[in-house]
Structure 1
Amino acid sequence: MEKLKHFPGLNLPILVRTVVTHWGLIVQFTKRNFEMRHRGSYLGFVWAVLNPLFLLALYVFVFGYVFGGSFHVLENESKWDYGLGLFLGLTIFHLIADAIALAPPLITSHPNFVKKVVFPLEILPIATVGAATIHTAISLVMVLAGILAGGRGFSLYILYFPLVLLPTFFTALGLSWLISALGVFFRDIGQLVTVAVTGLMFASAIFYPASKGQTESPAIWEILRWNPLVHIVEIARDVVLWQRAPDPVALFGVNIFGIVMLLAGFAVFMRLKPAFSDVI
């Protein structure tokens, strides 16, 4: 407890210095994490492209054409648009889902880094989220290609898209720091995360428009509207697919939330880090 008492938690300069100082290690571990997903397969990296391409085609066909889904946003909305909107929402969701799903054993699976060498443990979540971000980027390229293939094109509103991706990345990284640190002390957290990820997917307006929740289930919407991922997904669809301006309040809110999650997750990790060696 003495270690926790005297260690400074929230410190933005430490965060920035960590990234700058250990940038080489971060890149190296990010590359390793990305390659490990495809190591041993005949096609290797090609699967990073084929998997999202197959899923995109599957979502468009099954949910768009077979089930006839629609977000009811545009008068001329096509089944192709629904499949793209669904895939776009899932792509953003999976960045956060992958980050938190891999977080619980992230520190405990590297005992040598904790006990036997002086290693900046805080870069492990960065590398994990970095690898997930590469997969997200590949999927987003598929979405953009799908929009062009559907003949819709893009508008200047797509320039807002980085302001959607940044808070998503910050949130994923903040949660990864938080959960990986807590996973050292509470080994059951991995089971809780599995359940939470499933619930989060259905509570994030991925398969349905947020407007449907507002009109058909106002009571439930009063709860769901506090989920930042709902607004992140809606804004992403607005600026990329529907070609309209984002809600400025929602855009500001999700960016503030992302920054808060980033700093809070890092603060918790750095506060608990000195005690890792006591329990591993």
Structure 2
Amino acid sequence: MSRKSLTINPHAAQPTSLLALGASLWRHRQLIAQMTRREVVGRYKGSALGLTWSFFNPVFMLVVYTFVFSEIFNARWDGLGANASKTQFAMVLFVGMIVLGLFNELVNRAPALILGNVNYVKKVVFPLEILPVIALCASCFHSLISLAVLLVAFGLFNGYVPWTAVFIPLILLPLCVLTLGLAWILASLGVFLRDVGQFVTIITTVLTFLSPVFYPVTAVPERFRDVIMANPLTFIIEQARGALIAGKIPDWPGLACYTVIAGICAWLGYVWFQKTRKGFADVL
């Protein structure tokens, strides 16, 4: 293929329909898989342990957080009982960390996705809309590793794994869709407003402490509980804990409603990205 055939008009209007999005993702599925693999492997390139760090990182943070909250702050989790072991506390904490990590990793990276791939904007035919999808797939890979660590640990310490754990992909899927929509918006804004990355870091830090990761929702004073429940992470964290720890069936009507809202947000994010991408070349 000649160089001329690879050039594009960066100011050309881009399709915004859901059909066009689905067609693009399917058409570029192999490219998405290849770039996701490259990104995951590249993160640990040159390190002695390589991908093994994807196991060690969540385990290390789990140990630190569990020590701080169970030993120093003497935190207790409602529903586990007064005699609950530190291991049980760690399991509950870990579920929240997995959900939070999936969200935060992609959202924090999103503002720099286009800035870090300037050549794709001007010089070659490249579907820019798949960059957030690739970042999401990489985040999901690390979340799956953390989930595997959790399930193995749960089975070792409790002698069984709740069968409801099979529902965890359906529980996390709406969050992935919502986060992808936010990533499209933030990736676009990051091109025009370079301060977006700093602002997003502050927001995700605030969300970390406004999400029921280190405490149960029941521990929040009644007058502030509505704020916690309005957090889009709260519902997913609670559903994930129910399926992975308590063996509860997910709240299907709630998940269905969440999925519809997440789908609308994702489509709006995609539309925003496609409408604004024609200005990327002028700024970059």
TM-score by length of 2: 0.89
Please point out which of 106, 109, 114 is paired with 1:102.
Answer: 109
**Residues in 1 aligned to 2:156 and 2:68: alpha-carbon distance in whole angstroms:** 18
- Letter paired with 1:206: V
Cα shift at 1:65: 5.1
What pairs with 1:39-118 in structure 2 (closer than 5 Å)?
A: 39-64=45-70, 67-75=73-81, 77-118=84-125
Tell me which residue corresponds to 1:240: 244
d(CA) in 2 for partners of 1:64, 1:151: 20
1-structure distance, mates of 2:255, 2:74: 30
SS in 1 for 2:79: coil
- Partner in structure 2 of residue 267 of structure 1: 271
- Is the counterpart of residue 221 in structure 1 residue 228 in structure 2? no
Q: CA RMSD in A?
A: 2.0
1:236–1:149 Cα change, 3 Å: same
* Residue of structure 1 in register with 2:177 after alignment: 170
Are 1:123 and 2:123 counterparts? Answer: no
2:153 match: 146
CA distance in structure 1 between the aligned counterparts of 2:253 and 2:23, rounded to whole angstroms:
32
Would the aligned equivalents of 1:56 and 1:142 in 2 still touch at CA under 8 Å? no
2:189 and 2:148 map into 1 onto residues whose CA distance is 34
Percent identity of equivalent pairs: 35
Q: Extract unaligned runs of 5+ from structure 2.
A: 1-10
- Answer whether contact 2:164 2:247 (CA < 8 A) is retained: yes
C-alpha separation in 1, matches of 2:66 and 2:193: 40
Q: Deviations over 1:191-240 (max 9, x none)?
A: 10010010011111111111222xx2x22222221112011101110111
Task: Specify the alignment match of 1:202 in structure 2.
Answer: 209
Partner-residue secondary structure (3-state), 2:111? coil
Pairing 1:155-194 to 2, within 5 Å after superposition: 155-194=162-201
Q: Counterparts of 1:238 and 1:152 in 2: how far apart (Å)?
A: 18
Q: Does 1:29 align with 2:26?
A: no
Offset at 1:15?
1.1
Conserved 8 A contact 1:163-1:255: no
Q: Is the 8 A contact 1:104 1:190 kept in 2?
A: yes
The amino acid of 1:92's aligned partner reads: V
Aligned-pair CA distance for 1:67: 4.2
Cα gap change, 1:170 to 1:277, in 2 (>3 Å): same
Q: CA deviation at 1:177?
A: 1.0
Contact 1:157 1:244 in 2 (8 A): yes
Pair 34,137 (structure 1): closer, same or farther in 2 beyond 3 Å: same
Aligned length: 273
Distance in structure 2 (CA, Å) of the matches to 1:21 and 1:51 = 34
Greater displacement, 87-96 / 70-79 = 70-79
Structure 1 stretches lacking a partner, 5+ long: none
1:90 counterpart letter in structure 2: M
Partners of 1:130 and 1:211 lie apart in 2 by 33
**Counterpart code for 2:120:** F
| Secondary structure of the corresponding residue to residue 128 of structure 1 | helix
Between the aligned partners of 2:224 and 2:50, the Cα distance in structure 1 is: 44
Partner-residue secondary structure (3-state), 1:114: helix
Q: Which amino acid aligns with 1:155?
A: P
Question: Is the contact made by 1:63 and 1:83 (CA closer than 8 Å) also made in structure 2?
Answer: no
